Amino acid sequence: MDSGTLTAASAGAIISRLICHPIDTITVHKQTIGHFSFKTMPLKAYYKGLPASLALVTPATCIYLSTYCYTKEKLLKKKIHGTLLYSLCGISAEVISSVMWTPLEVVKARTQIAASGSGVLRVVRDLYKTEGLRGFYRGYWMGIAIYLPTTVSWWVVYEHSKSYLMNLTHWDVSVVAPICSALGTVVATVISTPLDIVKTNFQVATTSAMKAQANSPALVQPALTIRSIASSILKKYGLRGFVRGLLTRMCYVMPSGMISMSIFESLKPDIQLV
C-alpha cells in the first residue's frame, strides 16, 4: 500500500460517510424493521452507527482500493486487459476487504435499529456476549456471494465508461469519476439489492429491536437462518419484498460512491486507463 493510495482512499471514505450516513440509516430501517418516519425519528438518530462506520470504513476502504490498484498493476504487466482485468481486480479487492467490511456492516446495522440510548459500544458488547466473535461475521459468506457480482459489475461499468469518457471528452478525472461511479452504481445496486435485503435481515435477526417487533404483521420474524428469512420475506411481501428500499439504497450508495471516487481519483489520478 503506497501512501498516495492510502491518503486518497481515506479522504474519500471519510467525507462520503459523513455526508451520506443518514441515508444509509433510513435504508437499513426500511430493509429490516420495515418502516421509517421523518416525524418520529430525532435528528441524532440518523447518525447512529456512524462511529463504528468511520472506525472501520477507513481501513476497509484503504484495503479495498489498495488491493484493487495493486492487483491491477500486477495484471497489467501480465498483459491482462479489459473486462477480465477489472473483474479479477474487483474479486481480489472484495474477498480481502470483506474481513473488515462484514463486522462493520453487522455493528452498523444493529446500532442503527437499536433502541434509543444503545450506542456502538453497547451493541458490540451485547453482540460479543450473546454470539461471540462469530456474531461479528454473521452473513460473511452471503456478503461474499452478494458483493462479488456487485463488485465485478461496478468496476467493469466504471472502468469502461471512464476510459470512454476520458478519451472522448478529455474532461478532468474529478468530473468523469462521479459520472462513471453513478452508472456503475445503478447496475450494481439492481443486481445486489434482493440478496442484500436478506443479508441485512440475517445480520440483525437476533437483535432485541427485531425481537421486539416480531409480532408486527408488517415485519419479518426474527428468523435465524437465511432460508427462513428469505421465505418469510416472500410470504409477507411477495417478490416486491426483495426490492424494499431499492431507491433509498441507491440514493445512499450513488452519492457516496460519486463523492468517494471523485476524491480518490483526484488525489490518486494514476490508475492507468486501458
Residue 274 in any domain: the answer is no
Residue 73 in any domain: the answer is yes
Label each residue of the chain as H, E or C.
CCHHHHHHHHHHHHHHHHHHHHHHHHHHHHHCCCCCCCCCCCHHHHHCCHHHHHHHHHHHHHHHHHHHHHHHHHHHHCCCCHHHHHHHHHHHHHHHHHHHHHHHHHHHHHHHHCCCCCCHHHHHHHHHHHHCHHHHHCCHHHHHHHHHHHHHHHHHHHHHHHHHHHHHHCCCHHHHHHHHHHHHHHHHHHHHHHHHHHHHHHHHCCCHHHHHCCCCCCCCCCCCCHHHHHHHHHHHHHHHHHHCCHHHHHHHHHHHHHHHHHHHHHHCCCCCCC
Residues 28, 272: Cα–Cα separation, whole Å: 36
Vertex 17 angle, CA 268 and 226, to 5°: 110
Residue 272 in any domain: the answer is no
- Per-residue pLDDT, averaged over 237-258, amounts to 83
Higher pLDDT, 253 or 160: 160
Name the residue type at position 77.
K
Residue 273 in any domain: the answer is no
Under 8 Å between Cβ of 206 and 222: yes
Number of domains in the chain: 1
Cell numbers standing for residue 257: 460512491
pLDDT (tens digit, 9 = 90+) per residue, 132-170? 888 888 878 877 877 788 899 999 999 999 999 999 998
Residue 30 in any domain: the answer is yes
Whose cell is 486487459? That residue is 81
Under 8 Å between Cβ of 213 and 115: no
Higher pLDDT, 83 or 253: 83
Of 203, 226, 205, 227, whose CA–CA distance to 214 is shortest? 205
Higher pLDDT, 106 or 156: 156
What CATH number corresponds to the domain at position 92? Answer: 1.50.40.10
Give the pLDDT of residue 235: 87
Q: Other C-beta atoms within 10 Å of 18: how many?
A: 14
Q: In which domain, by residue range, is 256 found?
A: 3-267
Residue 181 in any domain: the answer is yes
pLDDT (tens digit, 9 = 90+) per residue, 92-105? 999 998 888 788 77
The pTM is what? 0.69
Residue 22 in any domain: the answer is yes
Higher pLDDT, 154 or 194: 154
Vertex 49 angle, CA 45 and 54, to 5°: 130
> Over the chain, what is the mean pLDDT?
81
Residue 230 predicted with pLDDT over 90? no
Vertex 67 angle, CA 263 and 203, to 5°: 85
Q: What are phi and psi of 182, to 5 degrees?
A: -65, -45
Task: Please tell me the least confidently modeled range out of 34-38, 53-57, 63-67, 75-79.
Answer: 34-38
| Contacts of residue 13, Cβ cutoff 8 Å, sequence gap at least 6 | 57, 58, 60, 61, 62, 260
Confidence grade of residue 106 (pLDDT, cut at 50, 70, 90): confident
- Per-residue pLDDT, averaged over 83-89, amounts to 95
Higher pLDDT, 274 or 160: 160
Task: Please tell me the least confidently modeled range out of 97-111, 188-202, 220-234.
Answer: 220-234
Whose cell is 442484500? That residue is 196
